[in-house]
Amino acid sequence: MIESNLNKFQVPASFPLERVGERIFVIGIGLIGGSMVLDIKSLRPEATIFGIDSNESHLDEAIALGVIDAGSTFDDLANADFVIVSVPVDAALTVLPKVLDAIGDQTIVFEVGSTKIPICEAVSNHPRRRNFIATHPIAGTEFSGPSAAITGLFQGKTNIICEVERTSFKLQEKALDLFKQMGMRIRYMDPKSHDKHIAYVSHLSHISAFMLGKTVIEKEKHEQDIFDMAGSGFESTVRLAKSSPAMWTPIFKQNRKQVVKTLEEYISNLTQFKDLLVNEDYDAIFEEMESVNRIKEILNGMSPSTLKAEAVNK
């Protein structure tokens, strides 16, 4: 899918190819890729941003929005300084080896998807593996496409880097300089740990929100008024159900085993809560909720000692 139109876009003859700055290529110009190059454009004004996208209208839109400077093709990757691969994770499996085939010796390629084992495996034996760095910037919104790109999306966010030892030192440095300039903090992790943990803190949240939306929509079929009653709490909990199925289906596919495991645990916890309610064990219900309340402090990243002091003062 991603490849069908890859060769349709040529740099316009009038385009100043002789610019002095870095040549940044973004393949797949949506929320993440688009936001990355918006940041790069503002941080490194000399850089030229080239876009490659299987969706012709995305390219036009990205140019019109000023997200990229020009459309491009795989043939131009030999001159790239950076290649950002930000396509759905299933497409990444075929796009990445093609990118590595096409780049130059000094090009650093990074991919930004939400699964890491399949991505790392797909390029594990590629002769240019050392030109690749596997990343997962934990940032995003529920929107997609070029118009979803925003500046500053990565400020203060975590970027998980996997198998860093398999990237050449010089190119690691080049990528890390950019990530740090964007304001990201770096965490190193092996792909297996990444995929396991991200199932809990990201993939499960999406399914939780999608199925909450489904449960309420099913009800609403017969009761049109119900959404007049929905407040900001529902909106917040269901927000991720606006996410793109084209992006999320391959993520669930690639991380199937872990996601199934987290779902089993989630369903088991929900069932247990339901049983407490059926049995009218309100003390246990209170305690369940109270013990989860500490998510406040966890999300605030507070240390246990700070928490204790806070609790006393409340």
Site for a copy of itself in 140-179 (CB under 8 A): 140-142, 145, 157-158, 160
Query: Site for a copy of itself (CB under 8 A): which residue of 6, 126, 202, 307?
Result: 202
Strands 185-189 and 108-111: unpaired
Instruction: Give yes or no for residue 213 binding a copy of itself (CB under 8 A).
Output: yes
Q: Which stretch binds a copy of itself (CB under 8 A): 6-14, 26-34, 79-87, 219-227?
A: 219-227
132 forms bridges with which residues in the sheet?
A: 109
Compare residues 107 and 115 and give the one whose CB is closer to a copy of itself: 115
Instruction: Give yes or no for residue 197 binding a copy of itself (CB under 8 A).
Output: yes
> What's the rounded Cα separation, in Å, for the pair 48 and 38?
11
Task: Enter the tokens of residue 56.
Answer: 């012709």
- Show contacts of 53-57: CB within 8 Å, 24+ apart: 53/5, 53/27, 53/28, 53/29, 54/1, 54/2, 54/3, 54/4, 54/5, 54/6, 54/28, 54/91, 55/5, 56/5, 56/8, 56/9
Binding mask 274-303 for a copy of itself (x = CB under 8 A): x--xx-x-x--xxxxxxxxxxxx-xx-x--
Instruction: Give yes or no for residue 269 binding a copy of itself (CB under 8 A).
Output: yes
Instruction: Give yes or no for residue 207 binding a copy of itself (CB under 8 A).
Output: yes
Task: Enter the tokens of residue 211.
Answer: 């199925």
How distant is the alpha carbon of residue 224 from its chain centre? 34
Compare residues 43 and 277 and give the one whose CB is closer to a copy of itself: 277
Instruction: Give yes or no for residue 270 binding a copy of itself (CB under 8 A).
Output: yes
Q: Which stretch binds a copy of itself (CB under 8 A): 4-12, 64-72, 75-83, 227-235?
A: 227-235
Query: Site for a copy of itself (CB under 8 A): which residue of 21, 105, 245, 306?
Result: 245
Give the residue among 153, 123, 120 at the shortest CA–CA distance from 134.
120
Total chain residues near a copy of itself (CB under 8 A): 95
Instruction: Give yes or no for residue 228 binding a copy of itself (CB under 8 A).
Output: yes
Task: Enter the tokens of residue 63.
Answer: 């140019």
